[in-house]
Amino acid sequence: MALPISVSACARAATAEEAAYRIDYPLAHARSTRVVAFDEKAEETVRSVAHGPWGQAQFYTTSATGEDLFTLDGERRPMAREIEHSDSVIMVGTNLLDSTAVAEVGMACRARSIMTAGLLLLDAGPLSGNTLSAIRPYARILLVPSDREDLFQLLRAIRA
Amino acid sequence: MLRPDINDLLTQTGPGTPMGDLFRRYWQPVLHTDELPSDGCPPVRVKILSERLIAVRTPEGEYGLMDEFCAHRGVSMFFGRVENGGIRCPYHGWKYNADGQAVEVPSELNNSEFCKNVKLRSYPLVKVGDILWAYLGDPDKRPPLPTWEFATVPSGQTFTSKRLQESNWLQALEGGIDSSHVTWLHGGGPTGAGLEADPLFAGSKGNQYNKGDLKPFFEVVENDGGLLIGARRNAEEGHYYWRVTPWVLPNFTMVPPRGDHPVHGHFWVPIDDENCWAWSFDYHPTRDLTEAEVSAMEDGAGVHSKNIPGTYRPVANKDNDYLIDREKQKTGELFSGVEGIAIQDSSLQESMGPIVDRTKERLVATDAGIIKARQKLRRAVEALRDHGTEPVGNIPEHQRIRSVAIVLPADQPFVEGIGDGFQAREGVRQTTV
């Protein structure tokens, strides 16, 4: 078979030299991220990460029903209002997580087409099927198990 | 987004680099056995991990892999004469054995004494399956020989190809981990036409699940040798269809199976920092591949590619815009307009540039598998560099792994539901839907 040969923009564009001409401009923080801890153990991890160099990320704990969130200063805020202008919610929990709160937040995100990620920590022991069942329907992606570094790296990677 | 220093750390694999040191703790596929097809055959140039080497097969059948250049004047030993016991430089007749040791230097009166001090750097080159594997690291740290299932089943059950990918190895690996692109690039987007069009994927029930749920959920699970990346779709009431991709450090991935088709996967091997070999394999754990399957693989179907005869460069490459067919792209017959899974991947991964600037990325939550893999690679590199910690993935327990496709109850952890389905077991069929 004759080999097709043609002048190709791809051949030039894929070189290191041409890569240097890609438009260089500062990227805005892409994500308006909310990080929610669903139990006390998860809260410890979220608090330890919250002091990082974040742009728009905000960090919360949740009420038992999930209808309210608490800032890490303890201020109560309606959950629906807090996530309204978010484009991603990161749900952090352990085996102790409250499935009612997870479902409430998860359904609110689904109704608003907000991307969700779940991080399950081992801080309260091995993960049970019930814990997985509680968060699975609501987390578009789930890290099992995960740790503080995963949360930090995820937030960094999505420019939170 | 990655910091520039981390991007450099993960993408540079030459001698003396931290990631290069990590790679040098593993056996890597280097050549098909048919590239050195017979005793005394011509030598073959090899470039791997930014080292230029020459591979030889002596008339006695001994394999050798050594510095490409003669110690005397730097002549490429590609032009050497393969002779009994080794290879001779045609310039001044210096001869080396398969270990790179000089055994004859004709100009020297005290030939044998002079030879003792002349040795080309060399590495072990061993045949496992239909592949020649090399280990470029510290001899004292050499791991057991490779035990990957695709390389250890009888030869009639396995097929391996390789193609040149003109990008850094990490871009290629990340494609193997990035399950969220499959629905679009390979699945045909909303039409879902792609999978059924390929003879090595067609006809499985899993394809129907794929088409029925275009927005899969993902779970990334820690595994001893790396990660398990599960893509979950709705199946029958109360059940999920799982496709689970294993990644074993640093550069091995498998694709979940479909029906009774052969199982496939990849090694992504750095040639230098701007090129890599995409090794692609198909095997069946319990039966020979059929003539039709092998013919399709040789023709570039499935994960394989149609290469320019006599080379490992794909016919569809960046010099011809990967033969993109805008009409098929428009109609949806080919979602990207590029034919074949391998070239669909390479066209986009090469378009990112030889080493993509990851400081400019805008990752999203569904990229968490890639984020996690980078993190594990970084940890492994730093642990080896700073503490001498042996990396995972270079022992049989981590290499005897399989990808899986399965339907499970909705509340079951996939690791628990799959159980020993992840383990390669002789005479046991793959777990597949």
Helix, coil or strand: residue B380: helix
| Among the partner residues A10, A18, A140, nearest to B322 by beta-carbon distance | A10
Considering only CB atoms, A159 lies closest to which of B1, B218, B347, namely B1
Reported as a single tens digit per residue, the pLDDT across B235-247 is 999 999 999 999 9
Higher pLDDT, B81 or A13: B81
Place of tokens 């020979």: B288
> Measured between beta carbons, which residues in chain B are less than 8 angstroms from residue A34?
none
- The tens digit of pLDDT for each residue in B385-426 reads 999 999 999 999 999 999 999 999 988 889 989 999 999 999
A9 close contact with B: CB closer than 8 A: yes
* Average confidence score pLDDT of chain A: 89
Distance from CA of A14 to the nearest CA of B (A): 4
Q: pLDDT class for B200, splitting at 50, 70, 90?
A: confident
Query: Cβ separation of B319 and A139 shorter than 8 Å?
Result: no
* Chain B hits for A54, Cβ within 8 Å: none
Here the tokens at position B327 are: 């009409």
Asked if B357's CB is within 8 angstroms of A19's CB, the reply is yes
- Contacts of residue A130 in chain B, CB cutoff 8 Å? 411
Q: How far is B167 from chain A (nearest CA, A)?
A: 9
Q: What is the pLDDT of residues B143-157, one digit of tens each?
A: 999 999 999 999 999
Q: What is the three-state SS of B210-278?
A: HHHCCCCEEEEEEECCEEEEEEEEECCCCEEEEEEEEEECCCEEEECCCCCCCEEEEEEEEEECCEEEE
> For residue B189, what are the CA distances in angstroms to B13, B176, B180?
35, 18, 11
Rounded Cα distance, B180 and B177, in Å = 9
- In percent, the amount of chain A with pLDDT more than 90 equals 66
pLDDT attached to residue B279? 98
Q: What is the average per-residue pLDDT within B22-36? A: 98
Q: How confident is the model at residue A21, as a pLDDT? A: 83
Distance CA B184, CA B192 (A): 8
Q: How far is CA B138 from the centre of its chain?
A: 22
Please answer yes or no on whether B361 and A157 come within 8 Å at the CB atom.
yes
pTM of the full predicted structure?
0.93
Residues from chain B that touch A30, judged by Cβ atoms under 8 A, are 362
CA dist list (Å): B57 to A142, B41, B81, B360, B431: 49, 6, 11, 46, 39
Q: Is A48 on the interface with B (CB under 8 A)?
A: no
Q: Give B147 or A157, the one with higher predicted confidence.
A: B147
Whether the CB of A101 is below 8 Å from some CB of chain B: the reply is no
List CB contacts (< 8 A) between B413 and chain A. 127, 129, 132, 144
Q: Which residue of B has its CA nearest to A114?
A: B365
Taking CA–CA distances from A33, the nearest residue in chain B reads B365
Could you say which of A4, A16, A145 has the minimum Cβ distance to residue B323?
A4
Count interface pairs A-B at CB distance under 8 A: 127
Chain segment A114-133, per-residue pLDDT in tens:
999 999 999 988 888 889 88
Max mean pLDDT range (A18-32, A141-155, B159-173, B349-363): B159-173
- Helical H runs in B285-325? 291-298
Closest chain A residue to B231, measured at CA: A141
Instruction: Please indicate whether, in this complex, the C-beta atoms of A14 and B219 are within 8 angstroms of each other.
Output: no
User: Cβ contact (<8 Å) for A27 and B362?
Assistant: yes
Confidence band (pLDDT; 50, 70, 90) for A29? Answer: low
Give tens-digit pLDDT for B67-126. Answer: 999 999 999 999 999 999 999 999 999 999 999 999 999 998 888 889 999 999 999 999
- Do the chains contact at A141 and B360, CB–CB below 8 Å? no
Residue numbers of A between 51 and 90 with CB closer than 8 Å to B = 88, 90
Q: Is the dihedral of CA B292, B293, B299, B302 positive or negative?
A: positive
Compute the radius of gyration of chain A from its Cα atoms: 20
* Chain B residue whose CA is closest to A17: B353
- Predicted ipTM > 0.95: no
pLDDT at B372 over 50: yes
Q: What pLDDT score was predicted for residue B258?
A: 93
Q: Which of A88, A121, A141 to mutate to test the interface with B (most CBs of B within 10 A)?
A: A141
CB contact under 8 A, A5 and B375: no
Query: In terms of DSSP H, where are the helices of B24-98?
Result: none
**pLDDT score at B191:** 54
B189 has a pLDDT exceeding 60: no
Per-residue pLDDT tens for A61-96? 999 999 999 999 999 999 999 999 899 999 999 999
CA–CA min distance A24, chain B (Å): 9
Q: Give the pLDDT confidence score for residue A159 in this predicted structure.
A: 87
Q: What is the average pLDDT score of chain B?
A: 94
| pLDDT at position A5 | 47
Quick check: A142 and B218 CB within 8 A? yes
Say whether the peptide bond before residue B18 is cis (omega within 30 degrees of 0).
no
CA distance, residue A32 to nearest chain B CA (Å): 12
Rounded to the nearest angstrom, the minimum Cα separation between A92 and chain B is 13
Nearest CA in chain A to B307: A3
Max intra-chain CA distance, chain B: 85
Q: Say how far apart CA B181 and CA B347 lie, in whole Å.
A: 14
Q: Indicate if the pLDDT at residue A1 is higher than 50.
A: no
Q: How far A124 CA sits from the closest chain B CA (Å)?
A: 17
CB pair distance less than 8 Å for A16 and B362: no
The stretches of B299-409 forming alpha helices (DSSP H) are: 326-331, 341-351, 368-387, 396-399
Q: Is the dihedral of CA B223, B180, A31, A68 positive or negative?
A: negative
Q: Smallest Cα–Cα separation from B133: which of B285, B252, B41, B295? A: B252
Write out chain B residues lying below 8 Å of A145, CB-based: 222
